[in-house]
Structure 1
Amino acid sequence: MEKYRMANQQTAPEAQAKAPEGEAKVNFKKDYEEAITSVGLYHPAATNTGERVLNRLLKGTVISSLAEINKQIAEAAAKNEEELMEKLFAERKKLKDAQSENLKSLSTIRKATPFDQILIAYKPEIEALAYELALDVLKSTHLAINATKGGKPAKAGSKPEDKAPREAAQYVIKKGGESIVFTKRLGRGGANLKQDEAEFAFLGFKIVMNEDNKEVLEPATIELTNEKNVPATRANIIDCIENQNAKMLEGYTADLIK
């Protein structure tokens, strides 16, 4: 699921909805991300349904050839096949360049045609997708409600039997001729730091136990070039590498592979 969000964010940032003048813009993407990563905030069946709906909608915004080559890069990175990785990265660049040209054409369509007119033009396809998602939500909600009858309601944060694990974004991080595959895990999976101990060590972090006997990173914060500090989380580490705004992470590069 994460790969569609990331790919969508990279290829079409101009597609974010603009609020009418005088109205505050609501960042639903940010609110949603915070909701699904806050353990126990919402019933797991609800977050599972939300993920499936979002996944279905965003899937169509990712070029299939790019998704396939990203999969090949991930496999090559796992086997540490550097020559193959370089070749695949070159192929991916060609695809991205072609995609960039295509996006310019799509931008012309966006400027010339209002969104509501596009929806009308593709009414049969939009209706089919809407009914598909509505049926999914209907069935999922029905199952979740029935599951709470005749017993104690499931607690928010409990794990549903049919919940599939979300796909986490993976990056090839390089520095000084060496490279690793770093996984930006979310939710409970992200709390297990030991599973990525070697990767954190490559990035200059140690894993220690805090007063509550929980795994934490040391240093616990990342100092930015503007002298502010942000928590040392997987997401912030990737952001700092991509934005090149943290001294301790200078020289690293991060390439999204899925």
Structure 2
Amino acid sequence: MSSVPTCVVARPPTQHATKLAKNKDADPVINVYHEGRHREAKLVFPWEPAKPPYRDTAGSFVDYVFSYLDSELSIFPARWGGAEPLVKNWHEYMDRLPRWSEVSSWLELFGRFNIGLALGRTSRAIAIVFKEKDSMVQWFWGLGREEQVMIGLYGIVVYTDKWSYVLLRPSDPGLIPRRNFYSKKLHAKVLGEKSHVFLPPSWLDGLQLVLWEEEVCLKRTILLREIPAEVFSHIITSLGVTAGGN
């Protein structure tokens, strides 16, 4: 998959970054984010790494969190190393995006945590989860060139030592499946409304989730970009799923 073209885009101040800049003096977490990202300084955390040992990645934990917020992904915190949500109201994020004040409080209270992502129309995203990475590679190379490029440039590919998944965002939210599907041919799940996955650099079952082309992805202006409806439909139907299906 490494032959798929990638694009490094300088990250200008986004609408969210401007919001952060206006409020950075009032919130120490936002201040750390603002100083680190826009002055290209190495972020330093006030808490110790959790167990299992945390593998340092190209971006700091705060970089990941705010990249997801910049991309309007509805995230929520779960126990570091596990799937148990750390907030009682986590189901709310299926229907709304988290507020900046909420995310700041999570960082202050929990430090590092597993990052849950509510899929569906709130995040405008689906996940295609493969039980085996070889199955994803087989599927990927069976797609047309345009679909491959769109996944590489606009989507997010997440992997562990054992399994992997692809996050996609269609330009038309109406194409997001309203229920989950299973592709017998490729042993893959297509997750849509009222589903969730976990985002890097979370740990699950002793496995760390990692972004494919991590350094490139974290430099995108928007981490998860909209894929044209026709291309998205081709990708989904390659798994035997009808876009927007019930």
When normalised by structure 1's length, the TM-score is: 0.21
TM-score (normalizing by structure 2): 0.22
